[in-house]
Amino acid sequence: MVELLAPAGDLERLKIALKYGADAVYIGYEKLSLRANAVNFTFEEIKEAVNYAHNLGKKVYVTVNIVLHNEDLQEIETAIEGLSKLKVDALIISDPAIFKYAKKYNLDIHLSTQASTMNYKTVQFFENEGIKRVVLARELNREEIKDIISKTHVEIETFIHGAMCAGISGRCVMSNFFTLRDANRGGCSQVCRWNFTLLDEKKKALGDDNFTFCSKDLSMIEYIKDMISIGIKSFKIEGRMRSSYYLATVISIYRKVIDNCCKHSNTIEYNIKDKKVLSACANRDSTCQFYNGNYDNNCSYYNGRVEISNQDFLGIVKSYDKKTKLATIEQRNYFKSGDIVEIFSPNRDIITKEIKEIYDEDNNIIEIVRHPKQIVKIYIDEKLEKDDMIRIKKD
Amino acid sequence: MINCDNILSVFRGAFFVGDLMILIMPNSLNQIKDNIDLIDGVILSLQDYSVNSLFKITLDELEYFCNLLKNKEIFISMNKNIENKNIDKLEEVLKYLNDYPIKGVLYSDVAFVTYKDDLKYDLVWAQEHLTTNYDTINYWHQFGVNYAYVSSDITLDEINEIAKNTKVKLMTNIFGYLPMFVSKRHIVKNYLKQFGIANESKVYYIKKEGLEYPIIDSDYTYVFSQAVFNGILDYFKINVDYLVCNGFLISDVKFHKVLQIINNLNIDNVVESSKKIDNIIKNTSDFFFHTKTVSRVKKW
């Protein structure tokens, strides 16, 4: 069975990720994680996360994937020992200086994509070092991944969805040079998404004034069946800083696709609507990047692109009263009476409804919900569950 | 080679380790020929196996360079990630190098370590931007890696602390543009293709706020710093074994002048020498030597 592995920036999103179908989540330990801008987890929160996940029969991996400097070495053992006591399921590590501590405290090691592992010899080396899983470099194509799997015995994990670095992971410190924020210690300022002017060797400007390195996102929904067939064991979704809605949407779609592929090998494993929904909840276009061997100029943006924040997500269900058929909603984006919405849930098919009645917290009828995080009640004549997501219906 | 007889600061830990070795990473054949008496060795980038260099040699040319560099230390840079399809060829190349007077091979891909027992030369862990602490350097040392090329984005104090805590011989940059980005994507070529622009420059630049950063798109894409690193002022405080001068995008004439200055360095003229280099190059910086990057990771 393959694993669907999702990111979680905090406890709330961890619970959403697991509820919507992730088999495992990866979270950052606040002191040693590469996504310093994510909320990240304290020891206490990791303990709660692990208990929550284990009660569901699911797993929690902790990213300890910064590139260590001397000053980080002093307390690393204490940190790893602490994580081992919390019974986390594995550490995601890029710096091999941490291996000895992970081994000492009997923690499984997953080699991070930050190590940019691109060939089977390197995987074999780490296999001999006792690493349980390798997250391969994001630049590999299908045949390379397949070849690595055929020549090694560790679990292989690859990314299936989300943002991509323009550079080889770990080999880009533009953030350090431009902003002094250390890319390999959690401070990446995403210089690759800035605008530059491109000059030729005579310093003559080429094209217009907005040259960027910006990669489009990765989306492997069309390739999941194939990826399962070549032996990839874990499918990773990028984005510890993504919203609950994004996670719920992406996870639930990939959950469905993976289950279809595993259980009904002759059925269509994804549909166009899923693809559209995935596309709509991101703010960039996506491609399969290097996987099909046709990496070309369509895999990146080159200039002048404005990232538009997604407005589809209207709210999250906090509770549902079966007697009154009123769902209590926490608002995320503007909506109004008469809007046609889709409500999705981990446990049932998507339902489509028109919003007919909206009440404020004092039970006054209102027409428009315009305030972020505003609590309102809407009439829905079908039972909803806590954490169901409501989005505007398109097309 | 710099005479350090009177310089008390050149120590490895508590022990004087002798003379600093000057290596160059040349940008042309002339940068080798012009400076052969001013240097202790050369890092030659091998075609198809190296990144962050424009001047690359082929295996067929190796004999010529070995003859040219008799009595000099020769290191071969093979600091590119190796793809599956090239693994068998890699083994052949590494064994081929056994027949030449090679001091060491700079590697980035861990696959190199798996061949260590078959090699007659040393390996230099040169995983740019990851060579940032002594524990990891010592990790590789236990697999027989006896050299490390420390990352260009750490401070002088960090470099010296690494030196105190490892037996591995260390290399670090002292002069030249610094690499800061490597990608398997053809970032410039695809841009030109996307907009139908015909241009075949060897080097391009990306410009931001008046600063120009060299960018090369060949087999991979590399981006370099906007200024030339000049660490000469701290020359006698750097506690490593090898200092590397990179000739990338430096004219042969200027590179020669810089190496002459370095060759005549002593503790009394170091400030003046550093200024001379600033005047020759114009656009210099000491980058991270005295400036720590901001780690968003909180102390604990």
- Chain B segment 38-77 residues within 8 A of A by beta carbon are none
Structure tokens at A11: 């406890």
pLDDT attached to residue B290: 93
Query: Is A118 within 8 Å of chain B by CB?
Result: yes
∠ Cα A78 A84 A89 (to 5°): 140
Is residue A77 located within the same domain as residue A128?
yes
Q: Quick check: is A185 in a domain? A: no
pLDDT attached to residue B19: 73
Query: Is A331 within 8 Å of chain B by CB?
Result: no
Contact B293 A300 (CB under 8 A): no
pLDDT band of A207, cuts 50, 70, 90: confident
Q: How many domains does chain A have?
A: 2
Q: Quick check: is A206 in a domain? A: no
Mean per-residue pLDDT of chain B = 92
Q: Is it the case that residue B93 has pLDDT exceeding 50?
A: yes
Interface TM-score (ipTM) > 0.95: no
Model confidence pLDDT, tens digit, residues B71-87: 999 999 999 999 999 99
Query: Is B87 within 8 Å of chain A by CB?
Result: yes
pLDDT attached to residue B1: 55
Is residue A111 located within the same domain as residue A37?
yes
Model confidence pLDDT, tens digit, residues B160-218: 999 999 999 999 999 999 999 999 999 999 999 988 999 999 999 999 999 999 999 99
Report the residue of chain B nearest A139, measured CA to CA. Answer: B184
Element (DSSP H or E) covering residue B65: helix B62-68
Q: Quick check: is A191 in a domain? A: no
Contact A302 B195 (CB under 8 A): yes
pLDDT attached to residue A81: 95
The pLDDT of B113-129, averaged and rounded, is: 96
Mean per-residue pLDDT of chain A = 91
Q: Which of B31, B29, B24 is nearest to B254 (CA)?
A: B31
Report the residue of chain B nearest A187, measured CA to CA. Answer: B296
Model confidence pLDDT, tens digit, residues B238-285: 999 999 999 999 999 999 999 999 999 999 999 999 999 999 999 999
Q: Which of A316, A123, A390 is nearest to B110 (CA)?
A: A123
C-alpha–C-alpha distance, residues B170 and B77, integer Å: 15
% of chain A residues with pLDDT over 70: 94
Contact B187 A300 (CB under 8 A): yes
Is residue A234 located within the same domain as residue A345?
no
Query: Is A290 within 8 Å of chain B by CB?
Result: yes
% of chain A residues with pLDDT over 90: 72
Query: Is B187 within 8 Å of chain A by CB?
Result: yes
Q: Hey, what domains does chain B have and what are their CATH numbers?
A: 15-177+228-285 (3.20.20.70)
pLDDT band of B120, cuts 50, 70, 90: very high
pLDDT attached to residue A307: 66
C-alpha–C-alpha distance, residues A201 and B52, integer Å: 17
The pLDDT of A119-128, averaged and rounded, is: 98
C-alpha–C-alpha distance, residues A168 and A157, integer Å: 17
Longest dimension (CA), chain A: 75
pLDDT band of B9, cuts 50, 70, 90: very low
Radius of gyration of chain A (CA): 22
Nearest to A187 among B185, B207, B295 (CB): B295
User: Helix, strand, coil shares of chain B as percentages rounded to 5?
Assistant: 30, 25, 40
pLDDT attached to residue B17: 37
Q: Which of A299, A324, A355 is the last residue of a domain?
A: A299
The residue segments making up the domain with residue A332 are: 313-392
pLDDT attached to residue A305: 64
pLDDT band of A36, cuts 50, 70, 90: low
| pTM of the shown model | 0.92
